[in-house]
Structure 1
Amino acid sequence: MNDSRAWIRRASTAAGLAYTAIAEYELARRLGAQVPIAVMLPVSIDCYVVAALKWFRPFDVALSLALMGAAQVAAHALDAGVVEVDLTLVTVVSLLVPVALWRTHALARHTPRDATPPATVPPVPEQTPTVQPPAAVTLDRVGEQDAPETPELPPGTDQDTEDAEASPPALLTSKDVAELFGVDPSTVRSWVHSGRLEVHDKDARGHNLFHPDNLPQEART
């Protein structure tokens, strides 16, 4: 379908240019141009028409066809004897070539507004290879040579037991014992004098210190 349309356009353009070129050439000859120079009139107008149709700017398409039509009317009017060669006709025909030259170069130098820009392919972003993190290694998967065995300790000799044995219980002051029993500190001192309460140690100021295990039976309940 596209091929047939292209051939139709080409055939129409070729036929139209060939038909009008003859009249334009004869017009130039009637106005006194020599053979090599007379050929330049149809060549310049036809090149402008082709450029206007190729880049298809509405203004230039209309103007190029108007120039071609003006040359045709003038040529056929002279041939029919309707008009005679005068200054007005010579001026109009002489301006056809400069106008066609100007617009042809203008089309070739500038991108037409109606042209569709070429499709651009967006660049493909570079893909960074994903590095998988190493699998977590557990002690269950480590060989015997990688995880040295911890020697087993006899019962009662583990670290917790050692810490418990190494940390003696905190000693109580007379005030602590009084609060524990709910009595006055003077009562605690009387217990010491009566032998009911054993003094375990004394602090730097000479105050009595009591071991929790040596409290009277009432304090344990």
Structure 2
Amino acid sequence: MASRRKPQPRRTPAAATTESKPAAKKPVTPVQTQAAEAAAEALIADARNKADEIHTKARDEHARLTAEAEEAGENLRRTVAAEVDRLLDDARREASSIRSDAEAESGELQAQAELAAQRTEKAAQSRADLLHEAAVADADKLATDARERADRIGSLAAEEAERVVNAAKQESEQLLDEARTAADKGRAIVDKANADAGHIVEEAKGLRARTLASADREAKSIREAARAETEKKEKRDDALDTWSARAVIVGAVGLTASGEYELARMVGFDARVAWLLPLVIDVYVVQAFRRHRDILQAISLTIAANVVFHLADKGLFGVEKVKAGHEPQWWLIALVASVASLILWRMHLITRPQATAAVVGEAPVEPPVGARDERVERPKEAPNKAPGERAQQRPSERPKTPKSERPPERRERAQPKAKKSAQKPLGERRHERVEALYAELGKRPEWTDIRDALAAEKLADKSISRSSCQRIRDAVEADKPHLVATGSANVRPITGS
């Protein structure tokens, strides 16, 4: 049998890299980890397939050699048997020929001489017996030789077959040993790959944790910076709104005060007290704006006073022409003279608490729904009372308003306890309505969405400011942080710019 070359285990690129650089430790991505595992599995599968192939070849070779040995022995046996039969046939033919010749010869001798027949017959019979015995002895010898030769051939064939079988067994065992060695190497490579993969996974987890921690810190700093910037913008916008409104009020008061002063002088007020009319009107306007009550009446009063003065100054309304110029009519004098009293009555209504209005039997003056309630609540602010009422009441008789019912900036008066139990506070209802907008819109609501929703539910005026809407939304997101991620593309601070 020709010696077989021992198959060398195929070295994959992953195994070569692992053996050549055992100490290299680099961050490995999940794709490289999967590739390493796939290469290890492929190596194990290749080793198993190769071992199965070697075992199958050895089994087939053994079966083939065994079949060849058995076939050679059988052929040898058939050859020996045929040779023996041939020798026996030759011996039989030779004996038959000898008998035929003896019979012919005995017949001729009998024909020539009957006398010599008996002697010749006896001699022929003896010769035939001898020849027969010699033929039988030769045939037996040939048969014995053939059997011995067949036995030798069979022994040689059996030895050769046994040798071939042993060689095949040894070769198959050697191949199996090589396959086991290759499988062990493959398992070692797989174990090493698994260990490397474990280290890589641990490094990846550590890197991921560090990256997430860094990202969280950076995001926190960004959020804090954005919050600080937003608060800065809100403060600037609030200051701008506040001082703009104050500037407008101051300008309007200064502009209208001159007309109101001249109107008082026109109807006969002395110059020393005429300035009190614009003072009373302007204080009333300021209080109306501050309390968000009687705004329409206050503005209408300033408009009417200035319009009447300018029309009367031109002689177009409420005056009579005289030689010296124009004289106010009686009804204009009466109307201007009653302005201060009317303002005193309205100031009494807008500055007293609602509980007092209910006792007196008058309807309380309600502020516009949600008007400027975004300011910080002052819980310890006591309801304003008229000086006379404050003096007449003893401390034990004055009504006490719970802190939870006290309105911001003293603009909403104490509510009866029955009304408080009937509905939630206004701020809580606003928060619930704005929170519902996230689900309704499927995104972070804009300030216009908040304004429209609150106005539709009568929780605020249509004129509610943009910064107020943002403060409400920020309060909702502070209570429910998960709402911030809703429609993140729409997230941007609401400012006055």
What is the TM-score of this pair, normalised by structure 1? Answer: 0.50
Relative to total residues, which structure has the larger helix share, 1 or 2?
Answer: 2
What is the TM-score of this pair, normalised by structure 2? Answer: 0.23
Say which one has the larger Rg: 2
